[in-house]
Structure formats: C-alpha cells, structure tokens
C-alpha cells in the first residue's frame, strides 16, 4: 500500500471526465482502493475520488463519521456510481476538499439522493442517503465529472480560507 499524491485545483486531471471501470474485481482496482484508503486516512478527509489521486477512473471512497451525521456510514467503495435526487429539496452546508487545501465554502446540494454502483466484489450497491451522507456522496461523485465544489457555490462571500472564515464567524458571534 502507498500514500498517493493528491492533485490540487488547477491540475487537468481534476477537470476531465473519468472513465468507467470495466471490471470492478480486477486486482489493480483493489490495489488502487487500498492506496486510496491509506491516502484518505493520512490526509484526514472523509472522501476521495480516483481523479484526485491522478487516476481518471469512476471510483470514489467515503465514510461518514458518527459525529457528523445522525447515522455513521462505514467506508464505502463505489465503482461507476450514479446519483439520482429523491426530491428537488436542496440544503446548504459547508464543504472542504483535499484538492483545495485550506479552503471552505457553503454549497447547496440535494438533501436526499439514491446512489448506485458496484463494490469491489462486483456486486451492485444501491443506497439512499440523506443530509451529510448525501452531501459527501455528491461531492465525491462530482469529481468524476470534473466538477470541484466552488463551481456549485452561489454566494462567494461564504467561500475562503478556513482560518479566515472561522475568525469572521467568531467575530460575528461575539459582535
């Protein structure tokens, strides 16, 4: 296993459309997932898409820690994912990204989705996701279509460096 280099905003691999994986059970796909899991743990994130590690394939991994949502979601490996909104209801929430270190923004996302794809065993996966779980899945799958979260921001007064945004929020709360 290896810790992979994470592509940062501006790198062409993050702007392209990722290619489908022909065989989810292939040994090279399993190795890539192992390396992505190690990379994600090292970086301290909650999700990672293959293009973020310079591999233009339709593969994402993510988990939802208990402290971030009503229900913990264990590590999920999703190959060739498809996302379908369950309603038109949108929810704003803060997002960051390992490919945009230090930056955060408020992004509207569908509050309820269904995602489907395949696991490493080649078996279909289909789940409904709500709230933060839905947000993480949408964020990671956006990477597969060359979309970084700033492209979805509607109010750029709520986008900036995390440290500055925290300082501004603390000043507003105190004032």
Residues involved in catalysis? 140
Question: Would you tell me how many other CB atoms lie within 10 Å of the CB of residue 132?
Answer: 19
Alpha carbon distance 99, 70 (integer Å): 27
CB atoms under 10 Å from CB of 52, counted, come to 28
Q: CA-CA distance, 145 to 134, in Å (whole number)?
A: 17
Q: Other C-beta atoms within 10 Å of 22: how many? A: 9
Instruction: Please report where in the chains the tokens 């459309």 appear, as a residue.
Output: 17
Closest CA to 51 of 83, 105, 109, 9: 9
């Amino acid at each position: 296993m290896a810790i992979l280099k994470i592509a940062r905003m501006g790198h062409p691999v993050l702007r392209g459309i990722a290619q489908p994986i022909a065989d989810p059970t292939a040994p090279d796909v399993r190795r890539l997932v192992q390396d992505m899991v190690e990379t994600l743990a090292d970086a301290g994130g909650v999700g990672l898409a293959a293009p973020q590690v310079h591999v233009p394939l339709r593969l994402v991994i993510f988990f939802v820690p208990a402290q971030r949502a009503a229900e913990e979601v264990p590590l999920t490996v999703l190959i060739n994912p498809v996302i379908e909104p369950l309603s038109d209801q949108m929810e704003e929430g803060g997002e960051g990204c390992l490919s945009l270190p230090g930056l955060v923004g408020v992004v509207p996302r569908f509050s309820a989705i269904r995602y489907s794809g395949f696991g490493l065993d080649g078996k279909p996966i289909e789940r409904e996701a709500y709230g933060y779980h839905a947000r993480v899945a949408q964020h990671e799958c956006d990477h597969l279509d060359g979309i970084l979260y700033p492209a979805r921001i509607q109010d750029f007064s709520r986008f900036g460096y995390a440290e500055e945004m925290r300082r501004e929020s603390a000043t507003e709360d105190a004032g």
